[in-house]
Amino acid sequence: MAEELLKVDDLKMYFHTRDGIVKAVDGVSYTLDHGETLGVVGESGSGKSVHALTMMGLIPMPPGKIEGGEVTFKNRSLLTMKEDDLRKVRGNAISWVDAGTLRPQRYRDDAEEDGVRKTTDTRLDRPGPVTMSWAFGERSGTSTLERRGEILDLVSMMYRLRASRLAPGDRLCFDLVANRRFWGFAGTVSEKPERVESAAGIFDAWRLDATLVRADGQGAPRPVHLWFSADARRLPVAAVSEIDVGPVRAMLSRVGGPGPDATD
């Protein structure tokens, strides 16, 4: 029997406005087990995003108010969880990706650096310039990027690259939202696959050599090297890049089917 991962029971989130009460989420219930994927569908404004934001503690209160219900993750209540514990559950970044187009709709990240909490919230599904709302400790503001073409976040970037042809010499360019900034991404696929060894096995992989350049013109360009398996799965095998504190590396650790032992 599958282990219950997430349970939403009669969740209600109302917004109290000058014009009255808006019942954005009114009695939502479902369960999600390990290895399951759940698609939440509905018309624009039906409460899809609000119900997810409520679970993750990202709705400002007021004007929002949880009027009832419960949400448990691994048998722990998300609605009463302390902020520090909740951040561990939801991670440092959250991406909303359209399941049909694999295009990003919204990207939010949350980190603490040198004792200062830094958050950004970027809407990518609206026409015109892309606006990032940010708060760094007591300071807050917005940053704007004019659309020059396709703009992705870290999650949709990986979907996009895995779905790409990745033929020798192919060049891939797009704008990117990551690490609380806007970037320009430009990369070229290697001329032939190369052998990469990881904890998950040995793979023939295409290497994508890319450069990240900040859209505001600040800082030095950052090199990025990504390896994707040359087979039909296009597994992200390895990544090497640089962040503010120095070089970083990530390697594929496991490959599995649906369930607790799925791909890392």
Determine the 3-state secondary structure of 29 from DSSP.
Answer: strand
Domain 1-91 has CATH 3.40.50.300: yes
Q: Where are the domains of the chain?
A: 1-91, 150-251
pTM over 0.75: no
Q: What is the 3-state secondary structure (H, E, C) of 65-90?
A: EEEEEEEEECCEECCCCCHHHHHHHH
Mind listing the pLDDT tens digit for each residue in 214-261? 998 888 899 999 999 999 999 999 999 876 656 788 898 887 654 444
Tell me what pLDDT residue 262 has. 42
The two beta strands, 194-198 and 181-189, are unpaired
What digits encode the pLDDT tens for the residues 14-38? 998 888 899 888 888 988 887 676 7
Pair 97, 155: CB distance under 8 Å:
yes
